[in-house]
Amino acid sequence: MARETKLKCRSLLERTEYYDDEGEWRIAGSDCLLLSGATLRAWARVTRQVLGMGAKVIMLEAGKSAGQQFARSLLKVGLKPEELKDATQIFLTQGGWGMVSAQVDAKKKSAVFRIRNSVMARQIKSQEPVCHFLTGYLAGVLSVMLNENIECNETTCGGMGGNLCEFQAVWF
């Protein structure tokens, strides 16, 4: 990660805005909130119980929309598309989503994100991947970053054992 990009991203996180009179917290102009990992996991669990496989689609689409909005807000405050990968790694890691790393090669149409200690997979035992919101989020960021129609697949999930989630991009 280039030092200049890292400094821009850190500066962005350090310049969060909180409005006491409105109860609002913003990063790069984006409306944010603090939410515990336990609350997020409970939301995902209850959604799956009520909606079955439809919950996966909802979480993927909500994540994709959030990732696109995040990426667009960073572009709006001056980051370049090629800086979004590093910004996403820093933002998600510092935001408590887990330790994020990524390799993106647009020319080869290859992108892999790895998240160690994913907030969605912590304390969950599953026979299938559980990080649907993150899967969509990463697809949303990549779609804006590369100006392409991109989806992601979670190919390895910490919820299935281990401590690593891996997400691979698929170009359409």
For the stretch 46-80, pLDDT in tens is 998 999 889 999 999 999 999 999 999 999 988 99
The third-level CATH classification (topology) of the domain covering 3-171 is: Muramoyl-pentapeptide Carboxypeptidase; domain 2 (3.30.1380)
Cβ 45 vs Cβ 120: under 8 Å: no
| Cα distance between residue 62 and residue 47, in whole Å | 13
Residue 102: both structure tokens together:
């990524």
Per-residue confidence (pLDDT) for residue 2, from 0 to 100? 61
pTM for the whole thing? 0.86
User: Rounded distance, CA 153 to CA 149, Å?
Assistant: 14
**76-131: per-residue pLDDT in tens?**
988 999 999 999 998 898 888 999 999 999 999 999 999 999 999 987 888 999 99
pLDDT band at 31 (very low <50, low <70, confident <90, very high): confident
Looking at residue 3, its pLDDT comes to: 60
- Domains in the chain: boundaries: 3-171
| Helix extents (H) in 23-103 | 37-51, 54-76, 84-94
- Distance CA(87)–CA(131), nearest Å, equals 20
Residues 38-43, mean pLDDT to the nearest whole number: 88
- Dump pLDDT digits (tens) for 129-168: 999 999 999 999 999 999 999 999 999 999 999 889 999 9
